[in-house]
Amino acid sequence: MFDLPRLTARGVILSLLVSNHPARPTSAQIVRAAGVFGISESAARVALTRLVSGGDLTRTRDGFHLSEPLRERRQRVLHEIEQGTRPWNGDWEMAVVVGAGRDPGDRAALRVRLSRLRLAELREGVWLRPANLTRPLELKDAPVEVMTGAPGRDPGEFLASLWDLPAWEAESARLLTLMGLAQSTVDRFTVAAAIVRHLLEDPVLPPELRPDPWSADLVHAMWRAYQREFVSIPGVGHAD
């Protein structure tokens, strides 16, 4: 009914460890908690083994904990979901890619980096957004020129080129409806995972530029509410 990606043992276990960080649960505790999401004991134990061998989890005498890269990723995702904003004065941020001859890997990495800053591509090599975010544009080491100013054009013309706002709003409405219908732990977790992916693509528009309707605030509120209900791992302690 929900038409969302199916849960995997790996995804469930990582989500449990992320949500219960800095707890260090034992394998038995993780297996029992994963069972709430329909993950079999054998699948959970195989996933744990692979997560350790792949460097995602570390096993110590007192239990499992997230690797340093995953802890950093956790903080980055939380930060990216909850973007700090400020009143918009009409200015736009622009990042123009300069130079040529970069390999495809470098170009792809730069695109990801610009997207994480919530910039959107107007045309090849030209990225911009309303200057209403408090995060810095940390691009001094990147092959881009950064500037801020008024575009001299109707902002509505930019918005239609930068983001598919009707599609984003339609997905917001769909996810809000699905979470309202979801009753089981598995269904609510599945919808919540989709909400995370959706919020990471939120253009974070200033109120002056938001279409009507615009459900971003409702989706963020639903995500925060879900964090309070997410299944904890029974019996774990917080080690650090």
Phi/psi for 140 (5° steps) reads -65, -30
Asked whether residue 136 falls in the same domain as residue 185, the answer is no
Last residue of a domain, one of 84, 119, 149: 149
At CB < 8 A and 24+ separation, what contacts does 75-84 make? 77/196, 77/200, 80/116, 80/200, 81/196, 81/199, 81/200, 81/220, 81/223, 82/220, 83/118, 83/133, 83/134, 83/135, 83/202, 83/204, 84/133, 84/134, 84/135
Q: Which residues contact 193 (CB under 8 A, 6 or more apart)?
A: 4, 5, 7, 11, 15
Q: Please give the biggest Cα pair distance in the chain.
A: 62
Asked whether residue 68 falls in the same domain as residue 101, the answer is no
DSSP category for residue 153: S
Asked whether residue 144 falls in the same domain as residue 198, the answer is no
Asked whether residue 126 falls in the same domain as residue 102, the answer is yes
Whether residue 218 is contained in a domain is answered as yes
Asked whether residue 13 falls in the same domain as residue 66, the answer is yes
Asked whether residue 169 falls in the same domain as residue 225, the answer is yes
pLDDT band with cut points at 50, 70 and 90 for residue 54: very high
| CA-derived radius of gyration, the chain | 21
Q: How far apart are alpha carbons 233 and 230 in whole angstroms?
A: 10
Q: How far apart are alpha carbons 32 and 41 in whole angstroms?
A: 8
Whether residue 45 is contained in a domain is answered as yes
Share of the chain above pLDDT 90, in %: 48
Last residue of a domain, one of 40, 74, 108: 74
State whether residue 145 is helix, strand or coil.
Answer: strand
What value does the mean pLDDT take over residues 8-34?
87
93 forms beta bridges with: 129, 148
Q: What is the CATH number of the domain that holds 106?
A: 3.30.70.2650
Whether residue 175 is contained in a domain is answered as yes
Whether residue 239 is contained in a domain is answered as no
Whether residue 191 is contained in a domain is answered as yes
Q: What is the CATH number of the domain that holds 179?
A: 1.20.58.1460
pLDDT at residue 72 greater than cutoff 90: no
Give the pLDDT score at 239.
Answer: 42
Rounded to 5°, angle at Cα 149 from 208 and 108:
90
Range of the domain at 40: 9-74
Whether residue 143 is contained in a domain is answered as yes
Give 65: exposed, middle or buried? Use CB within 10 Å, 0-12, 13-18, 19+: buried
Asked whether residue 218 falls in the same domain as residue 179, the answer is yes
For the segment 106-159, what is each residue's pLDDT rounded down to a tens digit?
A: 889 999 999 999 999 999 899 999 999 999 888 888 899 999 988 777 888 789
For the segment 182-215, what is each residue's pLDDT rounded down to a tens digit?
A: 988 888 888 988 999 999 999 999 999 999 999 9
Whether residue 33 is contained in a domain is answered as yes
Asked whether residue 14 falls in the same domain as residue 70, the answer is yes
Q: Where are the alpha helices (DSSP H) in 20-154?
A: 27-35, 41-53, 68-81, 104-116
Q: How far apart are alpha carbons 105 and 161 in whole angstroms?
A: 25
State whether residue 123 is helix, strand or coil.
Answer: strand
Q: What is the CATH number of the domain that holds 20?
A: 1.10.10.10
Whether residue 217 is contained in a domain is answered as yes
Last residue of a domain, one of 74, 100, 118: 74
Number of domains in the chain: 3
Whether 192 contacts 223, CB under 8 Å: yes
| Two tokens, residue 42 | 């054998």
| Two tokens, residue 68 | 């340093």
